[in-house]
Structure 1
Amino acid sequence: MTKIAILLSCLLLLLVGCQTQTKSPANPQVQVKVAQVVSGQTLEVFGMGDQSNLISQVRLLGIDAPDLQQRPWGSAAKERLQALIEEQPVILEFDVEGKDKFGRILAYVWKDKVLLNEQLVKEGQALFVGRSPNHKYDQRLERAQQWARLMGLGIWNPEKPMRLTPAEFRRQNR
């Protein structure tokens, strides 16, 4: 009985060891070249997957930027994101859910060790909007929004505040 127990234990250890090796996560970051900034929350990038010349849409996680028709905030958010990127490569970092319902890649975007999602919120160019199950940087984004609100930056400017959230604006203007 002990030989069988030892043999089963070894087999179990072997199976568990193989299982953990096959479940190792893929690289959660990738460097890409930005083809264009579509809006304050969406980019088109080269370099995703096997075909480096294929363009993919990327939606910045954790934020909701004003719609382009939501003037002047939508164009300001887009222009600021363009200025932050400066036609340089960026790093995309992924969370739990990889794509949204429109097929866009969901990512946190980094350039020169700056989380651009957070920077846009901190400057009042976008709202923090947590989206389950992607919560990796929710606390950072929430603090950035509190800062922008307290300082009256961008959409929080008391003299010219944004009256509707981007989601409310889109609902009213379909």
Structure 2
Amino acid sequence: MARKYLSWFLLTITLSLFIESLVFSKGIKVKEVIDGDTIVLESGEHFRYVGIDTPEKDQPFYLEAKELNQKLVESKEIRIEFDLQRKDKYGRTLAYVYVGETFVNAELVRNGLANLYTVPPNVKHTEYFLKLQSEAKEKKLGIWSEAKKPEKNYLARRGSKRFHRPSCTVILSAPQKDLIIFKTKDQALKQGFSPCKICQP
């Protein structure tokens, strides 16, 4: 009998986790767009688009990313999909966002207004975003339209998914044994690494 109850308990937990990972769609409305990848719901909850990263306020294409996000979601009802980790260190809810059939996170990447930003364990759509990023880069859309002076190599720290210029202050203090070296920027991007926000490689 105990074994039977244990089986039911495990099944219930499994079903709960499965249901929680599905897309939710009831009455979720966007009140405000903060920037290219952050929104506020009518409930006051802050949502951060997971898996992508858009330009900061002082960077090129910040306004374009924010404006596209506004066009896609502002004052509209959205559906959300969660990955394994629900919150970031700032307390924002991490989500994949949909309006109708439009996958908002993906649309920003497709238009060259966001780059892939992978933070495990949230990797559900990484391959799809990487494909869209490669296409946007090939077409030189948005953030990929401006050619930057290439470095001899680029560096990343093991355990991080950001890559840097060799002179970046963020990477200078890293022990040599913890460094990953890329010969080109493309090599880092194709392996799913995202550009550092500070040195902007």
Shorter-chain TM-score tier:
0.7 to 0.9
Indicate the percent of aligned positions where both proteins have the same amino acid.
Answer: 30
In 2, the alpha carbon distance for the partners of 1:167 and 1:43 equals 23
In 1, the alpha carbon distance for the partners of 2:12 and 2:92 equals 30
Counterpart in 2 of 1:148?
136
Contact preservation (8 Å) 2:33, 2:74 = no
* Correspondence for 1:12 among 3, 14, 32: 3
Contact preservation (8 Å) 1:155, 1:161 = no
Contact preservation (8 Å) 2:31, 2:74 = no
**3-state SS of paired residue (2:134):** helix
Counterpart in 1 of 2:30?
34
Counterpart in 2 of 1:104?
92
* Correspondence for 1:66 among 55, 58, 78: 55
Structure 1: give runs of 5+ residues left out of the alignment: 1-9, 47-53
Measure how far apart 1:60 and its partner are: 0.2
Structure with more relative contact order (C-alpha pairs < 8 Å, separation 6 or more): 1
Contact preservation (8 Å) 1:45, 1:58 = yes
In 1, the alpha carbon distance for the partners of 2:148 and 2:38 equals 20
Query: 1:7-31 CA deviation, whole Å, 9 max, x = no partner?
Result: xxx4312321233224422433333
In 2, the alpha carbon distance for the partners of 1:118 and 1:162 equals 24
Higher-Rg structure is: 1
Name which of structure 1's ranges 21-30 and 96-105 shifts more when overlaid on structure 2.
21-30
Measure how far apart 1:167 and its partner are: 6.2
Contact preservation (8 Å) 2:85, 2:94 = yes
Name which of structure 1's ranges 20-29 and 62-71 shifts more when overlaid on structure 2.
20-29
User: One-letter code of the match for 1:27?
Assistant: E
**3-state SS of paired residue (2:135):** helix
CA 1:162–1:99 in structure 2 vs 1: closer, same or farther (change >3 Å)? farther
| Aligned residue pairs, count | 153
**3-state SS of paired residue (2:63):** helix
Aligned positions of 1:16-95 closer than 5 A: 16-23=7-14, 24-25=16-17, 26-28=19-21, 29-31=23-25, 32-46=28-42, 54-71=43-60, 73-95=61-83
Measure how far apart 1:112 and its partner are: 1.2
**3-state SS of paired residue (1:55):** coil
CA 1:162–1:36 in structure 2 vs 1: closer, same or farther (change >3 Å)? farther
Structure 2: give runs of 5+ residues left out of the alignment: 150-163, 165-193
Contact preservation (8 Å) 1:96, 1:133 = yes
Query: 1:85-135 CA deviation, whole Å, 9 max, x = no partner?
Result: 252111111000000000000000011122111110011001011110001
Higher helix content, 1 or 2: 1
**C-alpha RMSD of matched pairs (Å):** 2.4
Q: Does 1:132 align with 2:120?
A: yes
In 1, the alpha carbon distance for the partners of 2:114 and 2:148 equals 11
